């Protein structure tokens, strides 16, 4: 117990920019705390500061392509968390990593990048061709895919019509807590189609998709970015200063 007490006292404080959506932020909270408990035992839990945002206006700005304003919002959140004592930051959403540069410009705190953490796990498994599911922004724009490509991964995404439906299910269902069997079947078919094109695994590149798709639903390995990101958060919290 004494060793655990000492180890626990060295835990860092992590700031989480969340609420996008709260459905996935609560999964982060559970997974990170479970990870700390598994490492430290007893009544241990994570040293976290969470700024849970109102997702509605953010979703509207995303749809309107007003990324400069979104960057300012994320930077403001980072400043608040830093002022509250955060020693590192995590953005609990794949899509909003599009504006991570705005956050990096406003703070010198380390930021746990979700794509980097995911790419590391994929590379450890020796895969080279990976499917990516997420919002339209994540699937079709370079801010996320390029980080995967830069470490030697080939990235496959669905056809345009399928991209649109994958995106719709995220915003109109999963972000509202609706997990429908019909949507699970649709995603499963999309994954099968990408596997037929050579995908060796699939990234669940939106933090809500893990609510819908599990490993049992996929013929190829599933990389749940929420779980991977949360594991990276646990590693950060326990890494000695």
Top CATH class of 2-113+228-238 equals: alpha beta
Q: 2-113+228-238 and 114-224: same fold?
A: yes
Whether residue 240 is predicted with pLDDT greater than 90 in this model: the reply is no
Q: pLDDT tens for residues 120-147?
A: 999 999 999 999 999 999 999 999 999 9
Tell me the CATH architecture of domain 114-224: 3-Layer(aba) Sandwich (3.40)
Residue 98 pLDDT more than 80? Answer: yes
pLDDT higher than 50, residue 161: yes
Chain centroid to CA 139: 14
Closest by CA position to 52, among listed 33, 12, 72, 80: 80
Closest by Cα among 177, 223, 181 to 200: 223
- pLDDT tops 70 at residue 74: yes
Q: What is the mean pLDDT of residues 168-176?
A: 96
Domain spans of the chain, in order of start: 2-113+228-238, 114-224
Rounded Cα distance, 155 and 17, in Å: 27
| pLDDT confidence of residue 9 | 52
The structure's pTM equals 0.92
| Catalytic residue set | 93, 206
């Amino acid at each position: 117990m004494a060793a655990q007490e000492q180890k626990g006292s060295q835990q860092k404080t992590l700031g989480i920019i969340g609420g996008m959506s709260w459905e996935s932020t609560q999964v982060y909270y559970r997974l990170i705390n479970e990870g700390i408990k598994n490492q430290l035992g007893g009544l241990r839990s994570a040293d976290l500061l969470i700024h849970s945002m109102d997702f509605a206006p953010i979703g509207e700005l995303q749809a309107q392509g007003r990324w400069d304003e979104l960057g300012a919002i994320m930077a403001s959140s980072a400043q608040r968390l830093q002022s509250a004592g955060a020693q590192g930051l995590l953005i609990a959403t794949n899509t909003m990593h599009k504006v991570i540069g705005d956050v990096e410009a406003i703070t010198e705190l380390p930021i746990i990048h979700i794509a980097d953490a995911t790419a590391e796990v994929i590379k450890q498994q020796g895969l080279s061709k990976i499917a990516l599911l997420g919002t339209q922004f994540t699937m079709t724009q370079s801010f996320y895919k390029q980080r995967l490509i830069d470490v030697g991964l080939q990235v496959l995404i669905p056809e345009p019509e399928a991209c649109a439906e994958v995106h719709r299910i995220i915003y109109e269902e999963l972000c509202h807590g609706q997990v429908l069997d019909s949507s699970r079947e649709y995603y499963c078919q999309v994954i099968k189609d990408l596997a037929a094109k050579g995908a060796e695994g699939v990234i669940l590149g939106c933090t809500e998709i893990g609510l819908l798709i599990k490993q049992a639903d996929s013929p190829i390995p599933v990389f749940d970015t929420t779980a991977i990101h949360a594991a990276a958060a646990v590693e950060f919290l326990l890494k000695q200063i």
